[in-house]
Structure 1
Amino acid sequence: DYKLQSVEKNDLTMSREEAIQTVAAALGEKDVIVSTTGMISRELFEYRAQKGEGHERDFLTVGSMGHASQIALGIAMEKDDRKVWCFDGDGATIMHMGSMAIVASKSPANYVHVVFNNGAHDSVGGQPTVGLKIDLPAIAKAVGYRDALTADSKESLAAVLEKLKGMEGPVLLEVKVKKGNRKDLGRPTTTPIENKNALMEFLRK
């Protein structure tokens, strides 16, 4: 066992899993999610399983940290009749921050970039990031996102999601959440190839 030498706590009350469930529940039937590697994809997969839903609307970006936003961009540009949601983490967003400028330059009206920000690399041990020390919405606006919003509670998240319905993308939604996850959190039971094929079939409809 290795003990972290640098541990940072935040006072946020909403868990990432709660936030993911709240956002996923607000999506339309044709909407698509591309989720980043690690806990975010695992929590999204478990949410679908708990609800008895299929996984064909979600692409789980396994082993490609920082690239979910570009995969989501490609789908958004090709399928402009669907809203595409990128479920990202603060560590992944910061890792490939130049991707935000690419998204903004393509200006997809159907693109929502959701960053679940807990200031930590939760999927690999909880090492701190600078996520909660920088202004991600200001960065998004500076590179050309049409708008940027922040939520840090279930109430504010519900209000922001309602506001998003009438907004044109690309929009960044920063959701500030507490660190940690359930100890009994499972892993996806489908393979990456099965996931890809199911999504491609869904996109053909």
Structure 2
Amino acid sequence: MRLGYASLPSFEERLAARGFTVTEQARNSATVAALADRGLFLPYEEKKRAGLLLLDSRGRPLYSAQQPHLVYDSFDAIPPLVVASLLFIEDRNLLDASQPNRNPAIDWGRVSRALVERGVRVFDKHQPQPGGSTLATQIEKFRHSPGGRTATPPAKLRQIASASVRAYLNGPQTLPARREIMVRDLNSVPLAAKAGFGKINGIGDGMAAW
């Protein structure tokens, strides 16, 4: 909804009524359709930002609006301190080059601890309950799950499966995909809202707003 994909049918209908014609359109492959039939989120290459760009007849910009306004275009554009901080807080083994085929959607240590803590909470309601999500599954959650939340165990499995498929789209070696996970998280993590600015997504806009 935030990036406008959900409104494409209404956009197309309104434009067609005003004389516009669709000249090019993305279509799902048989594999993507099969994944959707199994309940997974579609593993397309999601945009870093949404927006509108209007050009004149010579190709010069007339109007441009983008959201988020400030993004990292690539992993190399992220300051090393930001990379190190995110790894320290969220997943210290995410970029471990000694594990070229690692699935970034599952951290068995974190999952095990979350299950144990969940069991303890049966007897002690004050027991802290850490989450079992990795960065990869968190992205699937706040981008695609209703309300950006994990409501049930099946919903968590859906996030893990979807993140796993996305990680292996380009082959068994996942280090490039794991770097892209950091870019996607920093560019789109929800950071509440601010009066006069609106809803904030991404570290860039968050730093600019606050």
Instruction: Name the TM-score, length of structure 1 as normaliser.
Output: 0.27
Bigger radius of gyration among the two: 2
| TM-score under structure 2 length normalisation | 0.27
The higher-RCO structure (CA 8 Å, 6+ apart) is 1
